[in-house]
């Protein structure tokens, strides 16, 4: 894409703002239930949660599944707005972290996937349709709690979360950013099934 150095600097500044929002969502509050991580979870509950995780697809299978979801969202938004051309963020790769909320003490992990970014923002005229694409894809994974950080002309940042820690965020200002975080899952070597469920 022919972007001069001055406009590329503006694009990257916008991406860094969006990055702050996307990464900032990994803090100590469970966005869907607003339960903090500072209260101790009884060991019996931790054991119960670990048992639940063992019945779910592995972290690796979930990462693959959520990456496919992100690719599908990106393709569909580009179909709505051909000027939005997505690419992986060149330096922000997948980031594996501990789980949040009451899942913090479990053996589970979650992954913030490498960002999808576009040097061209989503036009305001197409924003509602693009947001609906993200909302529909998130809802298919039971990621339904919506929070809006910003939603004004040429400046949008909306996230969908659930109580398992999954998150889908779509933002558009000087650039467009799609970020996705998996729910809490056990790594394959911890013995969870490899089959993929939403």
What pLDDT, on the 0 to 100 scale, is given for residue 116?
97
Percent over 70 (pLDDT), the chain: 76
Instruction: For residues 177-192, give the mean pLDDT.
Output: 91
DSSP states of 32-92 as a string?
TT--BS-SPPPHHHHHHHHHHHHTSPPHHHHHHHHHHHHHHHHHHHHHH-TT---EE-SS-
Q: Name the pTM for this structure.
A: 0.79
For residue 13, name the pLDDT band (cuts at 50, 70, 90).
very low
Output the CATH code of domain 5-190. 3.30.2030.20
The CA-atom distances, in angstroms, between 184 and each of 26, 50, 140 are: 12, 10, 17
pLDDT tens per residue, range 98-148: 999 889 999 999 999 999 999 999 999 999 999 999 999 999 999 999 999
Q: What pLDDT score was predicted for residue 91?
A: 79
Are the beta carbons of 29 and 165 closer than 8 angstroms? no
Domain ranges of the chain: 5-190
């Amino acid at each position: 894409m022919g972007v001069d150095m001055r406009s590329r600097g503006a694009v990257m500044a916008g991406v860094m703002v969006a990055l702050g929002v996307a990464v900032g969502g990994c803090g100590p509050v469970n966005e869907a239930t607003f339960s903090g991580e500072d209260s101790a979870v009884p060991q019996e509950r931790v054991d119960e949660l670990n048992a639940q995780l063992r019945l779910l697809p592995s972290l690796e299978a979930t990462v693959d599944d959520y990456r496919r979801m992100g690719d599908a969202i990106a393709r569909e938004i580009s179909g709505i707005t051909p000027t939005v051309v997505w690419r992986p963020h060149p330096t922000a790769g997948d980031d594996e972290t501990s789980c949040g909320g009451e899942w913090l003490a479990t053996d589970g992990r979650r992954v913030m996937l490498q960002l999808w970014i576009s040097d061209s923002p989503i036009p305001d005229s197409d924003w509602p349709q693009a947001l609906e694409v993200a909302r529909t894809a998130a809802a298919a994974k039971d990621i339904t709690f919506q929070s809006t950080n910003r939603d004004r002309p040429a400046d949008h940042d909306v996230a969908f979360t659930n109580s398992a820690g999954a998150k889908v965020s779509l933002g558009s200002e000087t650039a467009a950013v799609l970020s996705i975080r998996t729910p809490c899952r056990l790594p394959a070597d911890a013995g969870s099934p490899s089959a993929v469920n939403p």
